[in-house]
Structure 1
Amino acid sequence: MLKFLFLNILLMSFISSWEIVQVLMFVFCFVIMMSWNGNFSFFNLGCGLGVDCLSYVLILLSSWILALMICSSQKVMKTGYFSGGFLSVNLFLMSALLMAFSSMNYLLFYISFESSLIPTLILILGWGYQPERIQAGIYMLFYTLLASMPLLVCLLSLYNSNGSLTMGITPGVLSDSFSSILWYMSAVLAFVVKLPMYMFHLWLPKAHVEAPVAGSMILAGVLLKLGGYGIIRILCLFPSLNKKLVWVWVCIGLVGGAIVSLMCLRQVDVKSLIAYSSVAHMGLVLCGLMTSGWWGVNGAVVVMVGHGLCSSGLFCIANMVYERIGSRSMLIGKGLLSFMPSMGLWWFLLSISNMAAPPSLNLLGEIQLISSLVGWSNLSMIAISALSFFSASYTVYMYSLSQHGVYYSPLFSCSSGKVREYMILMLHWLPLNFLILKTGLIFYLFCLSS
């Protein structure tokens, strides 16, 4: 993995030329694609870093979203507002994500996990839209830091008792004592806040609304997946405790997801609606991860990848509208079909993917998650039905309110869309809908990783 880290650091020497960095980021994605080796459980080993199937998928998703995110932030380049610093922050964030997803030591993973918070905070504070971005940044900083400090104490305690923090070698905690339950809650809490779980989600809508398009895309596309990835890695240390407490997480995930879906129906800010929909989707992912079954974990990873592409595309298209009309309110930005007819198709395609309509990758993942949860308990069907119904409801609400109706009177003319914008949306939509044709390969990958 060091060669990819060095390649990413090498890109920082080209920050004076925006176009070169854009092209080299896609070359970087291609190099990662070509590095796949499915014959071994771990590959690209060295210096405490290594990649398995799960890490590989999330690293590829990170590089792809980051390349698209730089393409979507042309306004920073045109205005010349610290464009070199903007590229440097994004490349530093990519380095932190590479380290986090390829770490084979829990302490190194924790350091990388926290390091990704710094460039995200700089993106929000430096290139955010409103004065409230300071409050949003502080919310995100303190929610994440306060929740992850107990995880550090837990890891140090495990190292003191076991003498190792290497993934796959560190023995699990099998006792059911009060201290073991405390360590379990401390370890899991750091990741469910990052996921985020209902009740700990308040930082996410604020961060999304105040962040620039690059911040929103990387937050929804990749950084939320750090929480799911951390849960997968940490649960193997507490097998018996998780089996006894899984009902807590499933109840919070399903009921919280249904409540957040209802909250989506009263949102007027389009970015806030997309952010709350992320919380609802991640509630279902949390349930699948905590059941620890093969179908549940596999479905959760597939939904994480699908949601990363879909929500990133929705934030991207919402920003395209914002740059034209100067408002995120759907009451002002309604009737878009009248003066942006070509963009209406992409609103429709990304909206139906958000509600897990075929043939999107979200559908494949949600089928597995629902099967896993119904197999765990038949009572979960009630909350799953509500969650699925309201998910479709708020997506239809977002699409119909934004595309139909009488458009705002001061808007007389508008560019329907540029080739660059259509290309970015297509690069979100194509992998989201064509990866389902390779379901056998997806199942094979996660068979290897499990």
Structure 2
Amino acid sequence: MNAVVIAVIIMLILSLIRVNVVAALIIGAAVGGLIGGLSVEDTVAVFSEGVGGGANIALSYALLGGFAVAISYTGLPKLMVDKIVAAVSREGEPRATALPKVLIILAILSISIMSQNIVPVHIAFIPLLIPPLLLVMNELGIDRRLIATIITFGLTAPYILLPYGFGQIFHDTIATNMELSGLTIDMNVIPTAMLIPTAGMVLGLLVAIFISYRKPREYENRKVSLQDGDAKTITTKDLIVTIIAIIAALVVQSVFQSMVFSAVIGLAVLFVTGTVKLRDQDQLMTDGMKMMAFIGFVMISANGFAAVMTETGAVESLVNSAADLIGDNKAVGALLMLIVGLVVTMGIGSSFATIPIIAVLFVPLSLELGFSPLATVALIGTAGALGDAGSPASDSTLGPTAGLNADGQHNHIWDTCVPTFVHYNIPLVLFGWIAALVL
């Protein structure tokens, strides 16, 4: 069996039986490397070299965690939660009614979508918004698996479809790598090609909201570590400074595309103005890094996993094997290409990193089978996006878990990855396959 397939299966099985995702990635990479023909020494060397590519991501998330904790100390999260509670409460009625749930769901969905384009901060909003809301969601009986699917939709669907913010980067990655592989396209056609696959994600979201997680789910009211500063009442000056810090961080993120420096600038504003005391910086950074460390280490491990899989040459072999099975059947070809993309991206955990790997193989295969440029875009874009919505190593699943598990009651695999896989990956495969055949 192909080394990539075996490595991904091992990683997923270990994750499903609750082995730590970092350990699962390392074990999967080791087994895949050995089966792929690498020696033990080469596997270790390639993995070690590959993890270096995730250092910037890990540092980014650590600093974002520190920035999030700093903002929580100002009292802004408490103010936000108080406002939401006031908005969803109605005199003489229990808070666990339909309207409050709808308001919270719409608010989280809207912020998640905006984090990809209007205010492109990606997952940085999650540790600021979600932990303070957990007690409110507990009282309303909201199933956190629903919130996980909502956030993942907001983190994924907008960049797949819309050429703004992270979507601009994703679409440019598709167009650039398709051109390098021998097929030049106009970036303006990518939203048209991705419309049908995105519709599949919308269907999955509606199923999650109205069918899968409609019933209440009970959670214990536990203390959330991020809420240590909640007792502080925010002053007008602190509110203004905190908003300025957030805007400054957003501007730096938008202009320089650097989460590291955006977090540093935001922290600097809070420290220089005295809104957060300089003497608290060590504890603050420790709390923030502790909160986001899991994401950082998973992303580092995923980079090592991807490096080993690339070095074995097993991805190309996997595509060649699929080509042999396809023959001239476009329907079978489209389905197999999507499945290959699913396998590759589930292991790597990043649609952006997957596109360069699969484009060089999918473009010639699509041309040989007679797929149109639009259909080829749909295949490559959908195949790349599959892993973001369900992979244990994706920041689109790690981010929601980091926020929803702030009180230790949300499992990354069973409460985030499995629900998002079922509600998004299955429709993506189906609707991406339809798009390839009709475009």
TM interval, shorter chain, is under 0.3
TM-score (norm 1): 0.25
TM-score (norm 2): 0.25
Question: Larger radius of gyration, structure 1 or 2?
Answer: 2
